[in-house]
A = this chain, B = another copy of it.
Amino acid sequence: MSDLLERLRARGWRMTSQRRVVAQVLDGDHTHLTADEVHARSARLLPEISRATVYNTLGELVSLGEVIEVSTDGRAKRYDPNAHHPHQHLVCASCGMIRDVHPTGDPLADLPAQERFGFTVSEAEVTYRGLCPACA
Contacts and interface: CB of A to CB of B under 8 A. Distances in A.
A123 B128 contact: yes
Given A74-B71, A90-B121, A115 B127 contact: no
A124 interface: yes
A127 to B, nearest CB: 5
A92 interface: yes
A133 B115 contact: no
Nearest to A77: B74
A12 interface: no
A132 interface: yes
Identical subunits present: 2
Interface stretch (A16-24, A51-59, A97-105): A97-105
A128 B132 contact: no
Contacts of A129: 121-125
Contacts of A99: 117, 119
A69 B118 CA distance: 25
Interface of A: 69, 71, 74, 77, 90, 92-93, 99, 101-105, 107-108, 110-112, 115-133, 136
The 4 closest A-B pairs by CB, nearest first: A121-B130, A118-B133, A103-B110, A71-B74
